[in-house]
Structure 1
Amino acid sequence: MTLRITVDTGSPTAPYEQLRAQIAERARSGALPVGYKLPTVRGLAEDLGLAANTVAKAYKALEADGVIETRGRHGTFVAAAGDAAQRRAATAAAAFAEEARRLGLTREAARGAVDEALRAAYGA
């Protein structure tokens, strides 16, 4: 299995974000299975014609999201991200709910704000 990533230099989306999004999507869809060893930062940077810092930034964001894990000198691997992603989403939702209540929003107004944010993020 090879990691097939493309970066569109003409895109308004930053290269590190394109890289992060593609790896995250492939990991979550199962196209990159749990335990799959990712290329080194330098190796992937060379393959894609990017600066090593760009790839490192994407890897750091993916690790923060629980999509990948670095095992020291052994390398970087796709993590079992479902649980970590679900926990982070639940934590963010709880923080939003508490903030909405503190601001005096009704349950309906808070739901409306969430629905609008989801529409903006996911479209339609």
Structure 2
Amino acid sequence: MIRRLIIDMWESYKQVLEKAFPKSLIAVDSFHVIANLNRAMDRVRIDTMNRFKLERSKLLNNDMYYYMLKKFHIFFKIDLDRLRDFKPAYIAKLNTYWDKQTILNYLLDIDDTLKHCYRLKE
């Protein structure tokens, strides 16, 4: 008897397996869960970024928000601990260097929805 099944997120697989193995536990593989989370996070980041691109004349910092969300998109996709070799990044618009935690804090302070989604993902 098959007790556990691991599948990707395609609904048809789930439906077939539920009929074929009604007493089995069905789980989604972690790769597809993480990929789905990253796509959702990227969508929120891009929506936020584009909102500032479109409203460029409304806030002094809009240009900087757009720039930082675009330049440091990777911060929303991977665990910061994986950026061990990350050296402080030069922020040309400010003529200074920021470490990864300062960059992340800046990015998350741009928008409450972005911050909330990031925390949920993590």
Q: Normalized against structure 2, the TM-score is what?
A: 0.33
Say which structure is richer in strand.
Answer: 2
Q: Normalized against structure 1, the TM-score is what?
A: 0.33
**Higher radius of gyration, 1 or 2:** 2
